[in-house]
Amino acid sequence: MSSTTNRSAARRAYGRYAVRRLAQAVAVVLLAYVFTFLVISVLPGDPVSNVLRDPQNNFSEQEIARIVAYYGLDQPIWVQLVEALSRFVVGDLGVSLRSNLPVSGLLADVLPSTLRLAGAALAVALVLAFAIAFGVRNLPAPLARPLRAFPSLFLSVPNFLIGLVLIQWFSFQLGLFLVIDAESLLATFFAAVALGIPVSAQIAEVLIANLDHEARQEYAAVARSRGLGRARLFTAHLLKPSSLPVVTVVALTVGELLGGSLITETIFGRNGVGNLVQRSVATQDLPVLQAVVALAAVVFVVVNLVADLVYPLLDPRVRLDASPARTKEVSA
Amino acid sequence: MTIPRSPRRLRAGRAATATAGLLATLMVAAGCSAGGTQSQAGGEPQEGGDLVFLIDSLGPTWVPNNSSISSFQGHIWGHLTDKLVYVDENGTVSPWVAESWDQNEDATQFTLKLKDGVTFSDGSPVDAAAVVANLDIWARGDVERGINPIGLFPKTYVSAEALDDLTVQVDFVAPTLGFIPTLGYHGSILISPETLAAPAEEQADLANDIGSGPFVVESWTEGDEVVLKKRDDYDWAPEALDHDGPAYLDTLTYKVVAEPSVRTAAVQSGQAQVAYNPSPQELEFYGEQGFTVAAPRYLGFVNGYAINTQVAPFDDVRVRQALQVGIDRDEILSTVYTDDWLPAASFIQSNVPGATDHSDALVHDPEAAAALLDEAGWVEGSDGVRTKDGQRLSFTLHPNPYLATSQAVDELVAQQLAELGFDVDIQAYDVITFGERVSFANPSIPTYEVTRSFIDAGTVAGVLTDAENGENWFNVGQSDPTLTELAQDVATATTTEERDPVLDELQGYVLDRAYFVPLTQIAQRLYLQSPDVQGVTYNGVAYANYYTAWLAE
């Protein structure tokens, strides 16, 4: 086989692969949307009459029925589902049942805060993880050994506790930031520290394990035998191959950072996606929940796709060749 | 490779609530020195300053009709808007936008005279036409546009008419003595007719909602914060507030901080001036630290049980009466609450005009209770529970999910009644399930735990029987002629002088027949406040008003 046919075959395979991945992605997002609808629909009550039934409101059942009809919640479930889906496919996320505001506007309100927090937390996590890994490999044993315990320690301290302690010290005692100005630079930084610490543990664990593995390889022994110092060996030889699996971990934790920030947002009084979800879950605000789940599905799909695409760039041994089995291995 | 740890996260979330309490104690202990500075009250009001109010939530929608009575949004509406009349914490009605009013002899027609020169913040006048538009939307809503009616507005409303620019005539199908006080209720906020005509989606954006109050919206973010700034040309405050012209404060910020211990610690460290709904356990400590704790009472029913008289064992009046004197209300106050709560003296709060003192009927008397049960044929068995004809003396309490202390109170009541030979079961539901399963006159619900505010004692007439679509709280229908007649007389009274003696008789009768078993008076809205905040007033529904407030530095 000549190399040109080989290359065009690979390109065709890649095309098929890309189309399949894209179709999968769309299916995942749609299924997430429908699944959310079904799960919320089986819960008793609906968001509108739940609020109206508060005895303070003093509404009769007839009045409640008329109001519920305005929101279309008296329709059979499948009619509501078809309506929601036909809106969704043309990009209309609908109107929140709780706030009467367009869902797209509500998302636009909270996304920047969550993106800032998640981005900063990821940066904190990466810096911490690489610092710990560097220390473990380069510090003298009496210091390096306890450092190895840090990831497990970070994982076992709940982050709301870290958050409350940070607020207590840095806001209430030292006055470095105000809890009522949650989006300020320092407030965001400390929230990112609270959220980033547990995430750094996951990255550090993977990084340390891989560094240990690489350090046992022949090339490392050769480098050491040629008199290379610890720090030089670390930066010049061990770090790059050990960082590869970190990409996969980061891809997984991005989802966690976006979705798992609820507690941090609540403690730090930040108005992010997590808080919007909390408000919406408490009131069964279906259109908002469906939009957030669909958004989360999009984020996961995109991040995983990007990780798959970045992988071959970091490691020339990984190639998207014609065999689907091979590509699956890579993406896993 | 590490697996995402979401299950652990979920558990941590639940633990967060429990541990937050612990941490609150830590924070309190750590911050003692900082909070110790006590500036003493008094002095001349000072202009300027920014007040930050930390609140647990900003509630759901901002469509004015759908949110005005919310325990959260009500705070903001109270500053953005005015009402036709003012009702103070003693239920006294006084002029506001309505300068004076008249009623016809049978209280079916009212005429309101409006104050001249009142304007909405967009410059349009608060005139008779605007008031008519508001009355119509409170009474009927516009459900086809997603605007709910105000549930507590008198259902006897027929129509309103502008007689001239400043005179409004309002007609009812039946005597409606409660109309004027209802105009001071938190639901009756005056909104510009232009806003009222807009679709729900536009009204849901707070920035579009135009009122005539002492503050206007500067900025807001859904679920996060509302910043209000004072209106410089405001000059029509109720006389009862003893302050003219614009507010002292420059801005008023309502900021959501969901975690109660962070709210109180932020006030303690001086980052905010007021924390809403601090946990009752923290109040004593902060009080000792020099912080102001306010627990104003609202006008309404006391917290207590409406008894279903058709369900055994409460179909026997003697068992109900045993319950009435078998509960030790002083023990509830000293165990569950602090000194800020008052004992019940009737089934309506004692600050309601027309409420009379019936505390004699509510004195704890276990001997009398035991005698009543003996007389009714309930005999104590070997396990301490009384039985009659093979039936055990048992029933179920459903704590009211809208009142945080309800379950603790019910547990104590269950203990107290166990000593008398009752077997009391407690079944707690969340808000949604409670709404679906627990209702008045429901054959499987022996007691309904009431907490409800109202502004006029006439409301009482609508809950006692099933006449005129009444709520039939005690499931007696119209089978008790005395009750039916008393309710009818309260509903149709045309003056308060005529109504008050009937109300007094009614309260005595309902308590004597033990249709309603009161527990304690309610202080549902709690405020923890920096000592720098002076001059706060509280209205009849216990909302704090910062129009009169100022900051001492």
Chain centre distance of CA B460: 15
Q: Which of B210, B187, B47 is nearest to B130 (CA)?
A: B210
The pLDDT tens digits for B341-400 are 899 999 999 999 999 999 999 999 999 999 999 999 999 998 999 999 999 999 999 998
CB B82 within 8 A of CB B281: no
Q: CB distance A206–B1 less than 8 Å?
A: yes
The per-residue pLDDT for range A27-53, each reduced to its tens digit, is 888 888 888 888 888 777 777 877 777
Closest C-alpha to A301, from A15, A18, A24, A17: A24
Q: Counting runs of H as helices and runs of E as strands, what totals does chain A give?
A: 16, 0
**A175 interfaces chain B, CB cutoff of 8 Å:** yes
pLDDT at B8: 34
Q: How many CB pairs under 8 A join A and B?
A: 174
A286-314 and A103-138 helices, crossing angle to 10°? 40
> Which residues of chain A make contact with B14, given a CB cutoff of 8 A?
none
The reply to whether A51 touches chain B by the CB within 8 Å rule is: yes
Percent of chain B with pLDDT over 70: 92
Distance from CA of A71 to the nearest CA of B (A): 8
Q: What is the pLDDT of residue B34?
A: 33
Cβ(B167)–Cβ(B114) under 8 Å? yes
What residues of chain B lie within 8 A of the CB of A206, using their CB?
1-2
pLDDT at B217: 97
Say yes or no for a CB contact (<8 Å) between B5 and A155.
yes
Would the pLDDT of B29 be above 80?
no
- Using a CB-CB cut-off of 8 Å, the residues of chain B touching A54 are 402, 431, 435
Asked which of B94-103, B138-147, B239-248 is least confident by mean pLDDT, the reply is B138-147
Pick from B15, B222, B469: which is nearest to A101 by CB?
Answer: B222
Distance from CA of A26 to the nearest CA of B (A): 23
Q: Over 70: is that where the pLDDT of B190 sits?
A: yes
Q: Cis ω on the peptide bond leading into residue B313 (within 30° of 0)?
A: yes
Q: Say whether domain B50-295+526-551 belongs to CATH 3.40.190.10.
A: yes
> By CA distance, what is B221's nearest residue in A?
A109
Contact A172 B221 (CB under 8 A): no
- The 3-state DSSP class for residue A260 equals coil
With beta carbons under 8 A apart, name residues in chain B contacting A186.
none
Token pair in block for residue B108: 């079916």
B144, B261, B269 ranked by CB distance to A70: nearest: B144
Whether A70 sits inside 8 A of B151 (CB atoms) is no
**Mean pLDDT, chain B, whole residue set:** 88
Contacts of A161 in chain B (CB under 8 A): 19, 23
Q: Which among A99, A260, A269 has CB closest to B256?
A: A269
B500 touches chain A (CB under 8 A): no
Mean pLDDT confidence for B403-407? 84
CB-based contact (8 Å) between A269 and chain B?
yes
B412 vs B355, B408, B426, B481, CA distance in Å? 27, 6, 11, 35
CA distance B33 to chain A (A): 10
Q: Scan residues 196-255 of A and list those with Cβ closer than 8 Å to B.
A: 202, 205-206, 245, 248-249, 252-253, 255
B224: nearest CA partner in chain A: A271
| More confident site: B155 or B247 | B247
The CATH code of the domain at B300-521 is 3.10.105.10
Interface of B with A in 220-279 (CB under 8 A): 221-225, 253, 255-259, 261-262, 265-266, 268-269, 271-272
Distance from CA of A218 to the nearest CA of B (A): 24
Which of chain A's residues have a Cβ under 8 Å away from the Cβ of B303? none
Two domains, one topology: B50-295+526-551 and B300-521: no
Tokens of residue B418, six digits: 């166990």
Give me the mean pLDDT over the B220-234 stretch: 95
Q: Which residues between 340 and 399 in chain B have a beta carbon less than 8 angstroms from any beta carbon of chain A?
A: none
Residues in chain A: 332
Higher pLDDT, B94 or B56: B94
pLDDT band at B107 (very low <50, low <70, confident <90, very high): very high
Cβ contact (<8 Å) for A266 and B34? Answer: no
Instruction: Determine the 3-state secondary structure of B357 from DSSP.
Output: coil
Domains along chain A? 3-89 (no CATH), 108-282 (1.10.3720.10)
Q: Which residue has the tokens 């002629």?
A: B481
Give the residue ranges of chain A where pLDDT is below 70. Answer: 1-4, 14, 55-56, 259-260, 312-332
Predicted pLDDT of residue B238 = 96
**Closest chain A residue by Cα to residue B463:** A58
Shortest distance between the Cα of B40 and any Cα of chain A, in A, equals: 23
CB neighbour class for B38 (10 Å; exposed up to 12, middle 13-18, buried from 19): exposed
Query: Residue A254: what pLDDT?
Result: 79
Q: What is the 3-state secondary structure (H, E, C) of A103-148?
A: HHHHHHHHHHHHHHHHHHHHHHHHHHHHHHHHHHHHCCHHHHHHHH
Interchain CB distance below 8 Å, B31 and A55: no
User: Across the interface, do B4 and A98 touch by the CB < 8 Å criterion?
Assistant: no
The domain ranges of chain B are 50-295+526-551, 300-521
**Closest Cβ opposite residue A172 in set B20, B224, B265:** B265
pLDDT band at B81 (very low <50, low <70, confident <90, very high): very high
DSSP letter for each residue of B465-506: SSGGG---TTS-TT--HHHHHHHHHHHH-SSHHHHHHHHHHH
* B:433-452 residues touching chain A, CB 8 A cutoff: 433, 435-436, 450-452
Instruction: Indicate the DSSP class of residue B402.
Output: T
Cβ distance A205 to B2 less than 8 Å, yes or no, reads: yes
**Quick one: angle between helices B280-288 and B260-268, nearest 10?**
10
The whole-number average pLDDT for the span B483-510 is 94
Residue B21: what pLDDT?
Answer: 42
Residues 6+ apart with CB under 8 A from B206: B62, B76, B217, B220, B226
- Which is more confidently placed, A23 or B190? B190
The answer to whether residue A73 neighbours chain B at the CB level (below 8 Å) is: no
Interface contact B61, partner A, CB < 8 A: yes
Pick the residue of B10, B269, B440 with the most A CBs within 10 A to test the interface with A by mutation. B269
The residue that leads in pLDDT, B157 or A312, is: B157
State the DSSP code for B211.
B
Q: Determine the average pLDDT of the residues in B405-409.
A: 89
B493 CA: distance to closest CA in chain A (Å): 22
pLDDT at B431 over 90: no
